[in-house]
Amino acid sequence: MGGARFLQGLLHGIAAGTLPGVAPDAHVTVVANNADDWWIHGLKVCPDLDTVMYTLGDGIDLERGWGRREETWSAKEELAAYGVEPTWFGLGDRDIATHLVRTQMLDAGYPLSQVTQALCKRWLEPTYGDRLRLLPMTDDRVETHVAVADADSASGKRVVHFQEYWVRLRAEVPAEQVVFVGLDQSSPAPGVLDAITGADLVVLPPSNPVVSVGTILGVPGLRDAVRATDAKVVGLSPIVGDSHVRGMAEQMLTSIGVEISAAGVGLNYGARAAGGVLDGWLVDERDAAQVARLEAAGIRSAAVPLMMTDHDATAAMAAAAIDLVR
C-alpha cells in the first residue's frame, strides 16, 4: 500500500512537471512483490500487483487500501454459508473477476507477467499508454511464510502463509522467522533486469523493507542489477519516528534483527559503495538527527516531510528524493 500510494504521487508529479529533471512523458516501470500471493478458493490472488493496479487505475477502495471500490460481498457470504475456510480472507465480488481472469490465463499456460499485462490493459493503458508498466518480480511461484510460536506443536513453532500472519493474526504475534519459499530458485520476470539496468533512476518506495522491498531484492540477480546500474538509486524511509507509517513492519524488522528506525532500515539496505544498494536515503523531518549516521556510512541523506497525505505532498517527497541524488 505504501508503494502504491507513493507511485500515485510520483505519477502525479511527473504529469504536473514538478519533478526535477523528469519529463512529463517519462516512462515508469514498477517491479512489484508477488510473494504475498496465494491460492484461495481455487483462485490465484496477487494482492500487491492488484493493489498497485487498482490504485493507479483509480479502482481501489481508498479506505481499506486493498480491493475494489463499491465492492459487494455476496460470494464471500455464500462461501461462509457453505462453511468453507478461510473465512478471514475476503474476496469481493468485483475483485473475484480479476482473479478469475488471472487464474484462467495461468491455467492456459501464460506466465504471470503476461497475465498482469493483460489485466493492466484495462486499468493502466487508457490513462498511461506505454508510459507505465507493471511487472511481477518473478514469474515463478514464491511464497512468504512466517514462523510463529505455537505451544501445541512439538517443535514449539508453526509456519503460516504471509496472508495468515498479516490478515488473520494481524502481525500481532512475534515473527520468529520469515521464510521466502522458492525465492532462491526463482528468476526475474522478463523485462525486470533490463528496466533496472536501463533506468535513469531507481527508486525504492516507502514500503515494507522485509516482506516487500527485501523480497524483491532477494530474487537472484535483482540485487546485482540494482548494484550495477548506471542510474542513481534512492529510497524513502517507511519508518517515521519509531513506527511504520502504514502497515506493520516492526515485527518483520525484529525478526531479521534490524533496528526499527529510518536509519536502521537505510543502513540495512546499505551504501552502494559498500556493497549495498543505496546512493541516497530520504528520512522524515522528525528523524533529522539520523541523517549524520547515514552520511557517515556513505549514504547521501536528507530529512523532509514524509507523510503521503495527498498527491501533492507525495509528489514533493518524490521530488526531494530525486534532488537528493541528482
**Which window, 76-84, 107-115, 212-220, 282-290, contacts Ca ion (CB under 5 A)?**
212-220
Asked whether position 91 contacts ligand FO1 by CB under 6 A, the answer is yes
- Pick what 89 binds: ligand FO1, Ca ion, none; C-beta below 5 to 8 Å, kind-dependent: ligand FO1
Judged by CB, which is closer to Ca ion: 48, or 143?
48
Residue 36 binds Ca ion, judged by CB under 5 A: yes
**Residue 23 C-beta: closest distance to ligand FO1, Å:** 31
CA distances to 297, 299, 304 from 293, rounded to whole Å, are: 6, 9, 16
Does residue 123 belong to the site contacting ligand FO1 (CB under 6 A)?
Answer: no
Return the C-alpha cell found at 124: 493502466
Decide which of Ca ion, ligand FO1, none touches 209; Cβ closer than 5 to 8 Å per partner kind: none
Residue with cell 514462523: 147
Q: Is residue 216 classed exposed, middle or buried when 0-12, 13-18 and 19+ CB atoms within 10 A define those classes?
A: buried
Exposure string (b/e) for 17-41, b if CB count within 10 Å is 16 or more? eebeebeeebbbbbbbbbbbbbebb
Looking at beta carbons only, is 138 or 163 nearer to ligand FO1?
A: 163
Binding mask 13-52 for ligand FO1 (x = CB under 6 A): -----------------------x--------x-xx-x--
Q: With respect to ligand FO1, which residue has the nearer C-beta, 67 or 266? A: 67
Residue 208 vs 290, nearer CB to Ca ion = 208
Number of residues located near Ca ion, criterion CB under 5 A: 3
Q: Which stretch binds Ca ion (CB under 5 A): 43-51, 65-73, 169-177, 227-235?
A: 43-51
Task: Spell out, one character per residue from 140 to 179, where the chain touches ligand FO1: x when CB under 6 A holds, - when not.
Answer: -----------------------x--xx------------
The CB-of-265 to ligand FO1 minimum distance in angstroms stands at 17
Q: What are phi and psi of 319, to 5 degrees?
A: -60, -40
- Note the residues at the interface with ligand FO1 (CB under 6 A): 36, 45, 47-48, 50, 66-67, 89-91, 95, 163, 166-167
